[in-house]
């Protein structure tokens, strides 16, 4: 993830000063442990200033409104108490080349600042600190004790101290090429490495873009550069410094991430604010998606492994209980032919009552025939009771396995992140497993709940233009089957194979032909655990024939009056990936 460097922070601050000063602070909200949102209003617009001290995604920019969840963080409550109703009157850098902005709040734009909110964008040391006009710290997003840092502790009641000054030489427009070149080439080494070692205030992404803009290799040695190479690189260096000085920024995407100075840009973006919003939203969503996907997958694999072991054990016990009748038959034979027993016998071979075939019965030599028969009768009763006890346990284990395999099937289309709807679908699976007691959420705050959002199903069209809607997890499957479906639709699902609920939408009086039914069956087969097979049995019926048993887990249903088609998942796999549908509301 590309961090916000000094250049990006200056670009973001430049836009904020030109468009959002002065503005009124209307609301303060902390959306998570690393992100603060401040609602600002000017005469022309209203927006949310996002301040993050995330160790990998610290940033400052205007963003979309945060979700409506309860705010229980102490830091935001203190800021709300002090800043609500005040005006944001200034945004200033505290020192040259420092990644710290001073947000000043006062009663009116022309009044002196009453409060300072210092936003420090410094990687894992990022922070947000509120002080009085006299620089006394009132609260901080992350307090640092003297035991944690002797250089710069940050505690309530202390006076604010800026971060330690940069000791390396700082870039300057006034520096000549000869001096600049001498600094970098004094010790031969990799070009990128030496530039970052010599000068402060540079980031890896910035240096790489400057070097590549000069048609040079970041890893090549400084000793290998010609005078023409140094000249091109110095021109890019000067151009960058001039952009900083003049506030001439060109935000956009590049191959390795984003840029705010136009170097290596492949697609421009209107504002730095929009650039940072899109980039970090995507990157943080991707990070969360990967973490959730890994945790859910690992948990499902562990649970299914344990359940399969239980199933194997119960099946073994049932196989043993199948011998119960044999134990009773042997006991009856011993009782009938007890007179043939002789002391010390280890077995007896007796004729079967029905077939007359010889039956060899092992004996305990320390017991007589009657005692051996009684032991066999006891074993018969024990195995009979085991069957009665194990059968319902096996059914329970298999039902749980079916449910978890259904969840596992919902993960198959979510193997990679594309947009926010993928994360939403995965979070619904995560929350479902928490609700069912399979997972715990260590980050869940008391009283927090997801804000209601429209469910985003997958949506396709059949050859004749009929709409097909597919659930992406068990929550969506239930909503699709029991909320969206009408009496005119057709409901599809793989036969005895975990998979998504699929709905073929039909208008009153319309009848799908074989191509429509086959296409929908192919989709149902593709969105199931059997998506790698060539042919998969798929059933379809009217939604009124689909029922949810009492106490059933999410997504688990029974059906009747079904018809069977053979779905071909490979026919769907060869098509380009289709994007999720727009929100579909329940009818």
- Please spell the DSSP secondary structure of 64-95, one letter per residue: PPPP------HHHHHHHHHHTT-EEEEEEESS
Mean pLDDT of 74-91: 94
Q: Do residue 388 and residue 497 come from a single domain?
A: no
pLDDT at 403 over 90: yes
Best CA proximity match to 447, nearest among 31, 72, 36:
72
Phi and psi, residue 502, nearest 5°: -125, 135
Q: Do residue 474 and residue 561 come from a single domain?
A: yes
Q: Do residue 323 and residue 221 come from a single domain?
A: no
Mean pLDDT of 244-250: 93
Kindly write down the DSSP assignment for every residue of 159-187, as one continuous string. BP-PPPPP-SPPP-TTS-HHHHHHHHHSS
Question: What integer pLDDT is reported at residue 455 of this predicted model?
Answer: 59
Question: What integer pLDDT is reported at residue 318 of this predicted model?
Answer: 79
Using 50, 70 and 90 to split pLDDT, how confident is the model at 443?
low
Across 207-216, 324-333, 367-376, least confident range: 324-333
Across 45-54, 67-76, 343-352, 453-462, least confident range: 453-462
pLDDT at 450 over 50: no
Residue 7 corresponds to which tokens in the numbers above? 């250049």
Using 50, 70 and 90 to split pLDDT, how confident is the model at 211?
very high
pLDDT at 563 over 70: yes
Q: Which residue has the tokens 């929350």?
A: 431
CA Rg value for the chain: 35
Q: Do residue 135 and residue 181 come from a single domain?
A: no
pLDDT at 574 over 90: no
Domain range holding 23? 6-140
The per-residue pLDDT for range 92-143, each reduced to its tens digit, is 999 889 999 999 999 998 899 999 999 999 999 999 999 999 999 999 999 9
Best CA proximity match to 581, nearest among 449, 418, 469:
469
CB 260 within 8 A of CB 272: yes
> Which of 270, 289, 309 lies at the terminal end of a domain, its last residue?
270
pLDDT at 547 over 90: yes
Q: Do residue 491 and residue 552 come from a single domain?
A: yes
Number of domains comprising the chain: 4
Q: Is residue 68 part of a domain?
A: yes
Q: Is residue 394 part of a domain?
A: yes
> Which of 250, 270, 290 lies at the terminal end of a domain, its last residue?
270
Question: What integer pLDDT is reported at residue 573 of this predicted model?
Answer: 81
The per-residue pLDDT for range 167-206, each reduced to its tens digit, is 888 999 999 999 999 999 988 999 999 999 999 889 999 9
Q: Do residue 487 and residue 557 come from a single domain?
A: yes
Q: Do residue 23 and residue 133 come from a single domain?
A: yes
CA angle 93, 96, 101 (to 5 degrees): 20
Using 50, 70 and 90 to split pLDDT, how confident is the model at 579?
very low
Mean pLDDT of 518-536: 94
The per-residue pLDDT for range 467-490, each reduced to its tens digit, is 999 999 999 999 999 999 999 999
Question: What integer pLDDT is reported at residue 449 of this predicted model?
Answer: 42
Best CA proximity match to 208, nearest among 267, 272, 257:
257
């Amino acid at each position: 993830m590309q961090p916000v460097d000094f250049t990006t922070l200056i670009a973001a601050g430049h836009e904020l000063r030109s468009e959002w000063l002065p503005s009124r602070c209307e609301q303060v909200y902390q959306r998570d442990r690393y992100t603060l949102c401040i609602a600002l209003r000017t005469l022309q617009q209203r927006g949310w200033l996002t301040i993050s001290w995330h160790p990998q995604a610290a940033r400052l920019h205007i963003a979309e409104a945060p979700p409506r969840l309860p705010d229980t963080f102490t830091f935001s409550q203190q800021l709300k108490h002090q800043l609500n109703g005040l005006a944001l009157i200034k945004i200033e850098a505290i020192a040259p080349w420092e990644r710290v902005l001073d947000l000043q709040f006062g009663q009116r734009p022309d009044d002196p600042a009453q409060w300072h909110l210092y936003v420090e964008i410094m990687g894992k040391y990022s922070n947000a600190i509120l002080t009085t006009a006299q620089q006394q710290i009132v609260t901080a997003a992350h307090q640092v004790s003297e035991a944690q840092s002797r250089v710069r502790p940050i505690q309530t009641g202390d006076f604010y101290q800026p971060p330690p000054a940069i000791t390396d030489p700082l870039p300057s427009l006034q520096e000549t090429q000869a001096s600049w070149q001498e600094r970098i080439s004094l010790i031969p080494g990799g070009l990128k490495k030496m530039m970052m070692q010599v000068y402060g205030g540079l980031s890896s992404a910035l240096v790489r873009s400057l070097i590549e803009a000069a048609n040079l290799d970041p890893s090549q040695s400084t000793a290998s550069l010609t005078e023409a190479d140094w000249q091109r690189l110095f021109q890019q260096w000067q151009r960058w410094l001039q952009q900083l000085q003049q506030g001439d920024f060109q935000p956009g995407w590049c191959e390795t991430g984003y840029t705010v100075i136009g170097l290596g840009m492949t697609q421009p973006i209107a504002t730095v604010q929009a650039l940072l919003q899109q980039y970090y939203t995507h990157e943080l969503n991707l990070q969360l998606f990967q973490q959730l996907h890994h945790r859910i997958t690992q948990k499902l694999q562990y649970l299914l492994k344990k359940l399969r072991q239980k199933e194997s054990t119960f099946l073994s016990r049932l196989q043993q209980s199948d011998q119960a009748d044999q134990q009773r038959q042997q006991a009856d034979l011993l009782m009938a032919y007890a007179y043939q027993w002789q002391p010390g016998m280890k077995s007896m071979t007796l004729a079967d009552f029905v077939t007359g075939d010889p039956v060899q019965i092992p004996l305990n030599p320390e017991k007589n025939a009657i005692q051996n028969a009684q032991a066999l009768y006891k074993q018969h009763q024990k195995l009979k009771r085991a069957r009665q006890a194990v059968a319902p346990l096996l059914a329970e284990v298999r039902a749980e396995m079916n449910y978890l395999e259904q969840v596992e099937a919902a993960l198959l289309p979510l193997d990679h992140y594309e947009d926010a709807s993928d994360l939403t679908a995965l979070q619904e699976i995560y929350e479902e497993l928490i609700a069912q007691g399979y997972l715990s959420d260590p980050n869940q705050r008391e009283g927090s709940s997801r804000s209601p959002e429209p469910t985003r199903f997958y949506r396709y069209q059949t050859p004749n233009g009929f709409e097909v809607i597919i659930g992406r997890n068990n929550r969506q499957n239930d909503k699709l089957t029991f909320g969206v479906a009408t009496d005119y639709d057709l409901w599809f699902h793989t036969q005895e194979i975990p998979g998504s609920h699929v709905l073929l939408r039909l208008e009153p009086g319309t009848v799908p032909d074989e191509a429509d039914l086959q296409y929908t069956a192919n989709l149902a087969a593709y969105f199931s655990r059997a998506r790698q097979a060539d042919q998969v049995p798929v059933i379809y019926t009217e939604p009124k024939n689909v029922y949810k048993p009492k106490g059933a887990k999410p997504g688990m249903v029974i059906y009747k009056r079904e018809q069977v088609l053979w779905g071909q998942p490979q026919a769907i796999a060869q098509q380009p990936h289709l994007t999720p549908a727009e929100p579909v509301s329940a009818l």
